[in-house]
Homo-oligomer: A and B are copies of this chain.
Amino acid sequence: MTAHLHIENSRLGSPLAHAGDEHVRAALTRHKVLADRVRVTIGWDGDVLDAALATADFLIAARPPRENLSARAPRLRWIQTTGAGIDHLLPLDWLPADIVLTNNSGPHGPKCEEFCLMALLALSARLPTLVDQQRARVWSSIFTQPIGGKVCLVIGYGDIGQAAVRAAKRLGLTAVAVSRSGSGAGPADRLLPTSALDSVLPEADFVIVAVPLTPQTRDLLGRARLALLRPTAGLVNIARAPLVDYAAMAEMLRDGRLGGAVIDVQDPEPLPADSPLWEVPNLILTPHISCDDPRYVDMLLDAWVANLTRYLAREPLRNVVDRSRGY
């Protein structure tokens, strides 16, 4: 059997996830199973999409087609997204029951851990304030104690949340994590259910948001929850913008009710030039780079081939999206 994999690229999406001929050729060289068992086609913005869907068994796409999919893609059994978050695909009512959806969780860990190391150290050293001073041509020393022993709260405990916890532990912090269930193995010093969030927010020197965006988590750190933070606390968001009330955060950063923030995700992205967020004080904005490696497509294809091997052996796939949880 030769199966058909179609890779559908979106020029509107991140160029990091664009899989071109060169990536596929390299993957075919790296993976004999891919060369032997799979015919690969590549499309851009729908140019060959319907012809490809007519015969595709597998689809890799940033934004899979959602309309009338059973009829358009009668053989399709597996869709792989190029990103880790699938909030843009919710609700999943468009997904036929016999098609499995997997996300690209996993390759983000190492870069994410590094970004969290940097963000925690930057917030501890009050770098967001220091770069504001630089722009204002003000030389005024701000001395800060070493970071060790402080408390880092990580919201979310998937691959990215656990990477954030590892970063905190590497710096000698106490790492408290919250997850939906509040149970499971992992590197955190304490793991609590999301319902405990209000009680742990006032303890945190740093908060890292690393939870999937779903209808349940939207506005998770709204105005009232943000007000529970210490005025010296530092906030990091490496997940999705709508998890946090940025308007409330901006007010707190201006008023001194929040120490600083490092925000890697915005809404929309690219953030428009007229957004008020650009000039909020004590805030470093980064352009959604926290968890991504320039070797992204190669890592994605390697992980997909590993899952293909499981598929061919009728073993359970990794990173299957749970339709009821939405991530």
Contacts and interface: CB of A to CB of B under 8 A. Distances in A.
A198 interface: no
Interface residues of A, number: 52
A201 interface: no
A159 interface: no
Interface in A247-286: 266, 269-271, 273-275, 278, 284-286
B288 A114 contact: no
Interface in A129-160: 130-131, 133-135, 137-148
A285 B274 CA distance: 27
Contact of A121 (B117, B145, B273): B117
Interface stretch (A4-12, A213-221, A229-237, A293-301): A293-301
Contact of A118 (B110, B121, B148): B121
A127 interface: yes
Contacts of A131: 131, 284
A69 interface: no
A137 B289 contact: no
Interface of A is mostly: loop
A121 B112 CA distance: 12
A170 interface: yes
B122 A278 contact: no
B16 A143 contact: yes
A115 interface: yes
Given A139-B270, A266-B139, A134 B295 contact: no
A125 B289 contact: yes
Contacts of A296: 143
Contacts of A139: 266, 269-271, 287
Nearest to A269: B139
26 contacts: A14-B141, A16-B141, A110-B146, A110-B148, A114-B125, A114-B146, A118-B127, A122-B127, A125-B289, A127-B286, A130-B286, A130-B289, A131-B131, A134-B278, A137-B275, A137-B278, A138-B273, A139-B266, A139-B269, A140-B287, A141-B287, A143-B289, A144-B294, A145-B293, A145-B295, A146-B293
